Amino acid sequence: MDELEQLARARPVAPPSAQTIARSRAALIQLAGGRPARNRRVMNLRARILVPVAATVLAVATGVAVTMLKGGTGAPNASPSASPSMPAAARAWDSANAPQLLLVAAEQAQQEEAPGTGTYWVSTIEHGWLIPTGAGNNQYTLRLRRTEITWKPLVPGKDVVHISRWAGAEPLSDGDKAAWRAAGSPTSWPIEPPPGCPPDPRNVYTAEPGGSERVERSAPDARLFMIANGESLTAEQIRALPSDPVALRTWLLSVIDPRDLRNPVETGKSLFEALVDLVLNTPITPAVRSAAFRVLAGVPGIRSLGAVTDAKGRSGVAVSIERNDTVQERRADPGGPREVSLVLDPNTGAVLGRQVRALRPADYLSWVPAGAIQQYDLIEHLRWTNDEPPATPRITDEPPATPTPGGQPTTAC
């Protein structure tokens, strides 16, 4: 093993700079903050709503649906609902039909004007998630919320600025509220320490929003936008994505990990998640968003949830896919099947967000009430601006180590 000993000592390297650590950590925190959360009940599951739409829109939409179904990618639930022979005024859109709902949204997205432009693309997204709390027999579920504002520069020489604002916590349901009252109506809850670490009484989640903001400014990586489990793209690449649905689908399939494309069911799920990433987290042009909806309309396994009220109380329509419902998925994640949905504003084709509902929570998620929205990312604003983000020093030194209300311990212990 002498060669190994020699080799073990060969090519020594310097440890990462504080800035490298801070920047890498900020990227992770941003992603982790930017992950699911949500917790209001989806209303009127699969209700059929009637939404009047312009006759031309419907005609175009239906035409495209037929094309896509011919292409072999149609959803199993697809059923034509609006007869072309109906009078235009009475023509209605059956929201239980996921492909059609998406194609209408696609039409609406296309009505939008020129692609936005500016120095920064700013997204404000509320994340919600659940944790179990309480003591002894009085366990209950808390909904936690955080607002994440991200400034991503689309011109060279500018920094990424990420602002994380605690948005409060509350018991999830009426039953949880009762348990919370029984526990003495606490206004803060201890954050469980990382496994292997002692508890730190300074780390709490507070009922009140606010407290200190976490602001991180860092030099951007060239590849600012991440989709499909790790494919990172520059702003230019995002803006140059094809607006032709077939080309967009082909491109997506080329960047998704082939291990996630082993059969039509997995392919459908992977496409769905990648498309949701794309419409939720990147500054695609209206034309590409429209194409993304058209691709979604043809994703195998996609379903309509019909009219929903999202966790922020906004009305929308949603399409969904089931995750974690196959044997392979459950082997890796025993938390039980869940429904991942994309919520849209049917009137504008705008994306409201992504919600994840626990269907039959199990194992490490067995404390989650069945049917609860376990996580959500809901868009408050997506905008372009030439303004500058709040001034704050670049991360050059130690990563922030001071715990804040609603914050998270930032060191291994």
Partner 1 sequence: METVTVTDVDDAEVVKRSRADPECFSVLFDRYFVPLHRYASRRLGGTTGDDVAAETFLVAFRERGRFDPARGSVRAWLYGIATNLIRGHHRAEVRGYRAYARAAAEPVYSAEEERVDARLTAAAAREVLVAALAELSPGDRDALLLVVWGELGPRGDGRGARHPSWHGRLPALPGASPAAGRTR
Query: Which residues of the shown chain bind partner 1 in the complex (CB under 8 A)?
Result: 2-16, 20-21, 23-25, 27-29, 31-33, 35-37, 129-131, 192, 194-196, 221, 226, 229-230, 232, 324, 329, 331-333, 335, 364-365, 368, 374-375, 408-412
Q: Minimum CB separation from partner 1 for residue 411, in Å?
A: 5
User: Quick one: 161 or 340, whose CB is closer to partner 1?
Assistant: 340
What would the DSSP string read from start to end of 271-295? HHHHHHHHHHHS---HHHHHHHHHH
Residue 292 CA: distances (Å) to CA of 31, 98, 134, 234, 407: 22, 14, 43, 18, 35
Q: Which residues contact 350 (CB under 8 A, 6 or more apart)?
A: 109, 344
DSSP reduced 3-state for 104: helix
User: Closest separation between CB of residue 131 and partner 1, Å?
Assistant: 6
Comparison of 91 and 146: residue with beta carbon closer to partner 1: 146
Which C-beta is closer to partner 1: that of 245 or that of 361? 361
> Please, what is the minimum distance in Å from the beta carbon of residue 321 to partner 1?
14
108 or 375: CB nearest partner 1: 375
Under 8 Å CB-to-CB from 206, ≥6 apart: which residues? 166, 168, 169, 187, 188, 405, 406
What is the C-alpha separation between 188 and 203, in angstroms, rounded? Answer: 10
Query: From the CB of 230, what's the least distance to partner 1, in Å?
Result: 5
Write down the least CB distance from residue 354 to partner 1, Å.
13
Which residue lies nearer to partner 1 by CB, 61 or 373? 373
Residue 312 Cβ vs partner 1, minimum distance, rounded to whole Å: 19
Separation of CA 319 from chain center: 14
Cβ–Cβ under 8 Å, residues 134 and 140 = yes
Tokens 């058209």 map to which residue?
Answer: 294
- Residues 245 and 291: their CA atoms lie apart, in Å, by 5
- Decide: 146 and 35 in contact? Cβ < 8 Å: no
- CB nearer to partner 1: pick between 103 and 144: 144
Q: Least Å distance between CB 247 and partner 1? A: 24
User: Reduced to 3 states, what is the DSSP secondary structure of residue 236?
Assistant: helix
Alpha-helical runs (H) found in 240-323? 245-255, 264-281, 286-297
Cβ proximity to partner 1, 291 vs 395, nearer residue: 395
Which residue shows structure tokens 């994340």? 127
Of 289 and 338, nearer to partner 1 (C-beta) is: 338
Residues 6+ away with beta carbon under 8 Å from 326: 265, 266
Provide the minimum distance between the beta carbon of 324 and partner 1 in the complex, in angstroms, as a whole number: 7
Which C-beta is closer to partner 1: that of 54 or that of 364? 364
Minimum separation from the CB atom of position 33 to partner 1 (A): 7
Nearer to partner 1 among residue 79 and residue 328 (C-beta): 328
Take residue 45 and report the two structure tokens written for it.
Answer: 């599951």
Nearer to partner 1, 280 or 365 (CB): 365
CA distance 54 to 92: 9
**Strand pairing class (231-233; 303-309):** unpaired
Report the nearest approach of partner 1 to the CB of residue 191 (Å): 9
Backbone angles phi, psi at 166, to 5 degrees: -65, 130
Q: What is the dihedral of CA 173, 174, 176, 179, to 10 degrees?
A: 180
CB of 249 to partner 1, least distance (A): 21
Calculate ∠ Cα 217-234-258, nearest 5°. 120
